[in-house]
Amino acid sequence: MLGTVQIATPERSMDILVNRWLLYQTLSCRVWARTACYQASGAYGFSDQLQDVTALAVAERAVARQHLVRAAAHQFTQGDVQHWWHPPSGRGVRTRSSDDLLWLPYAVLQFIEVAGDRGVLDDNVPFLDGDALAQGQNESYFQPRVSEATGTLFEHCARALDRSLAVGSHGLPLIGTGDWNDSLNRVGPQGKGESVWLGWFLHTLLWEFAKIAGERGEHQRAESWRLHVSALKAALERHGWDGEWYRRAYFDDGTPLGSATNTECRIDSIAQSWGVISGAAEPGRGARAMAAVDQILVRRPEGLVLLLTPPFNRAAHDPGYINGYVPGIRENGGQYTHAAAWSVLAFAALGDGDKAAELFGMLNPVNRAVSRAAVQRYKVEPYVVAADVYSEPPHVGRGGWTWYTGSAGWLYRAATEWMLGFRLRGTTFSIDPCIPRIWPGYSIRFRHHSATYSIQVENPSGVCRGVVLAELDGRRLEGSATIPLADDSAEHHVRIVLG
């Protein structure tokens, strides 16, 4: 598996992490074991493993496809899903979490892009039946029944999207008892709180699935989703923008979170990064928002990329169990590596390869073992990613929860897809890098069935982005750097020149 894609860059620590450790951590710990020293679990998290397998879509496609179907089978007929469940019984928890169900369409979209095969959308998968949550009940742990109702994987994704169209008073998606950040579970328990981050995420999914729905003859759904996208974009810019960055959420009573008016959590990184990743943020605002991340949340002396700041401590509004963490620990103002990886994606999307590489270097655990003092400060394994790194004295720079974290898969994708620009698309692949200006180039070796592709990227002009020449086996490719794939037992040579 690890031999499918191998890289050689000017950053040796990056090569070590990407070639050997990230996919190993993702497959062995996250997908197979689903347990580690910090979490003795064995459960599947609905959103968790769906994100993990997106990193395996190139090297272990069968694992990725199998999990799409497995996850869909843990969706209720109403469209919501089990937040997590234990095999083999299937006992798990039904919640009011707002983002879990949406990671199914996200992972399906990503799989289709990589595999170039939409046949997976027609796989038939059963739903679950179980008691709905009662008024005022936020979660319920039980063993649901397998429903007699089944639907295609497309229908499973469509029900997830349809269920996520409700909005609050600002026209933004309801946050429920938490979105990606589970620990913000008391922002919207009354059903009125809203999530700016979820708006960016949903915008991406609805836009792409509207195209698929139209192709499948689901014209009413396609039109409904397109109209919602337009309304969502307007609401995000009208009520999400805070002046220098995007807000994170609104409480049930309409109080903003992640605003300059807040004394705690004035800025949260994922509302900024996903505005850019989604492509939905107004370009000037997206760039300003990421500049704010760079100025406020990136702490270069300590080598940290924070999730939010200042940490929660005595907030007038209780955001949830995030308050149970000491300031600077885990989600409460520490470096939450999962979110920090999204900042790398966002800077790469903006074309800033210098910042993307700088942040990746901060997140790379190998670089936390470069001296005896660094090892004593970090205190955990330097060869696997830590979910969090502490940011407040006396534990600044100390690693937290290692092994069992979705950060490994996202860092792999940040490196290979967003920085090195390697994107597999069915019967072709493309190279569209965003690298530091100082890099003279890099190489990738990609094994595709019986064929091998030796890819050499040259950067003679010292730029971050911009392909000016692409060659396959000495022949110039006109128009783009899209390379056709073969299964011919041969070694092919690809040359890419930036300028």
What percent of the chain stands above pLDDT 70?
A: 100
Task: Answer with the residue of higher pLDDT: 489 or 40.
Answer: 489
Give me the pLDDT at residue 298, please.
98
Give me the pLDDT at residue 480, please.
72
Per-residue pLDDT band for 38 (boundaries 50, 70, 90) equals confident
Q: Is 394 contained in some domain?
A: no
Q: What is the mean pLDDT of residues 134-138?
A: 94
Give me the pLDDT at residue 39, please.
85
Phi, psi torsion values for 50, nearest 5 degrees: -65, -40
Give me the pLDDT at residue 297, please.
98
User: How far is residue 395's CA from residue 155's CA, in Å, rounded to a whole number?
Assistant: 48
**What rounded mean pLDDT belongs to the chain?**
97
Tens-digit pLDDT profile for residues 143-170? 999 999 999 999 999 999 999 999 999 9
DSSP 317: S
Give me the pLDDT at residue 362, please.
98
Q: Is 473 contained in some domain?
A: yes
CATH number at residue 478: 2.60.420.10
CB atoms within 10 A of CB 361: 16
Burial class, 238, CB count within 10 angstroms (exposed 0-12 / middle 13-18 / buried 19+) = exposed
Tens-digit pLDDT profile for residues 1-32? 999 999 999 999 999 999 999 999 999 999 99
Task: Answer with the residue of higher pLDDT: 113 or 315.
Answer: 113
User: How far is residue 494's CA from residue 480's CA, in Å, rounded to a whole number?
Assistant: 13
User: How far is residue 189's CA from residue 166's CA, in Å, rounded to a whole number?
Assistant: 14
Q: Is 481 contained in some domain?
A: yes
SS3 category, 157: helix
Give me the pLDDT at residue 373, please.
95
User: How far is residue 44's CA from residue 67's CA, in Å, rounded to a whole number?
Assistant: 10
What percent of the chain stands above pLDDT 90?
A: 97
Per-residue pLDDT band for 420 (boundaries 50, 70, 90) equals very high
Tens-digit pLDDT profile for residues 441-461? 999 999 999 999 999 999 999
Q: What is the mean pLDDT of residues 386-392?
A: 97
Query: Edge to edge, what strands does the sheet with 491-498 contain?
Result: 5-8, 441-448, 451-458, 491-498, 467-472, 475-476
Tell me the two tokens of residue 443: 């190489």
Give me the pLDDT at residue 251, please.
98
Task: Report whether pLDDT(478) > 90.
Answer: no
Give me the pLDDT at residue 316, please.
85
Give me the pLDDT at residue 41, please.
87
Q: Is 460 contained in some domain?
A: yes
379-388, long-range: CB < 8 A, 24+ apart: 383/17, 383/20, 383/21, 384/21, 384/25, 384/29, 384/408, 385/22, 385/25, 385/337, 385/411, 386/337, 387/38, 387/330, 387/336, 387/337, 387/338, 388/329, 388/330, 388/331, 388/334, 388/335, 388/336, 388/337
**Using omega within 30 degrees of 0 as the cis cutoff, is the peptide bond preceding 88 cis?**
yes
Maximum Cα–Cα distance across the chain: 67
Give me the pLDDT at residue 481, please.
79
Task: Report whether pLDDT(223) > 90.
Answer: yes
From residue 275, give the alpha-carbon distance in Å to each of 41, 200, 246, 285, 345.
Answer: 33, 6, 8, 9, 11
Tens-digit pLDDT profile for residues 258-291? 999 999 999 999 999 999 999 999 999 999 999 9
Q: Is 392 contained in some domain?
A: no
Q: What is the mean pLDDT of residues 191-211?
A: 97
Task: Report whether pLDDT(479) > 80.
Answer: no
Per-residue pLDDT band for 401 (boundaries 50, 70, 90) equals very high
Q: Is 457 contained in some domain?
A: yes
Tell me the two tokens of residue 297: 């949340």
Per-residue pLDDT band for 315 (boundaries 50, 70, 90) equals confident
Q: Is 173 contained in some domain?
A: no
Say how many domains are in the chain. 1
Q: Give the residue numbers spanning the domain of 465.
A: 441-498
